[in-house]
Structure 1
Amino acid sequence: MTRHFLAICATALVAGAALTIAPPAGTATGSAHRTELAGTSREARAAVTDIREIVNTLAVQVQVYNAENGNRVTLQPKGSWIGSMWVPWAGNDSEVQNKSIRIFYTDNADRLFYLFQDYWAPNDQVRFFWSPKYYEHAPRVEGAGTGGGRKRLIIYPSNFAMENVG
């Protein structure tokens, strides 16, 4: 009985870890999403974008909050963070408001940006916006902000960029 229970627990741990391991840089693993829009059903596939490093180029402290899972990171001025933070998929206002990564800092004014992966975009585009609204034409994160995989997020004064990392 105990041996059987331990085997089940070990299998559950291995299966759980397999579901949370990030994809290697440049690879796209997907998950289907279905949403009702105007009485029709649309399906999109989105690859996982895993932020492995965040670089703050600003002379002020930056707060990064993942609303989907509650994780928070504080970046000191000109500092960086290394870890793993998946960019949430969003395809409507509610998802941007409740799941996006929020980036906040104060320079000469308070700045708040919502970072999300647009799963209606065919190239898995990471976008940002200054309002918690889904906007299909929201600015794109520059650089390697498409295709999923492991990324470095770079925070600039008025925009963001991504680079592929191994």
Structure 2
Amino acid sequence: MGSYNSSCWFSRCQLGGETKTEMVLFKELWDAGTLFGKGRSCNEVFTIKKGRDYPDLRDMRNYFCEGEYSLTLDGPPGTTITVYGQFFFGEDHGYLTLTKTDHRRVWLWDLEDFPDGKWVVAEANKDTGAYEVYFHAGPNFKMRLGSVKWNEIP
């Protein structure tokens, strides 16, 4: 799955002069001290590089630790990602499509904080860049992400 590059956190990540395009899933754990198999603690951060679709997030290390997801999206305007609440890009358990509309990092703290079945246009503010988002509600969506696809608008 890859690990999170902490050197990119507060500054814009760059490769060859261009902004790195990636989504980072953060999982706020209900019990941060939980050990998961062989004494490892649950990993809270998953980086998904541009173009790398994940049909089944259970393949991510420590997927089964309980918590709620938030995410950041870096890349140029027009960068689009869809996260699904079901494996293999199924829509029955909800999905969220996010498109960046400026060059700043977008950060969504609460993946369910949008009206169901409507596009929302959000202007940039001190915490996040500008974006458009479409949310199709599903049960416990922000806790049960199942798959991720780049450049897809269902």
TM-score (norm 2): 0.32
- Greater share of helix: 1
Please report the TM-score for the alignment, with normalisation by the length of structure 1: 0.30
Which structure has the larger Rg? Answer: 1
- Structure with greater proportional strand content: 1
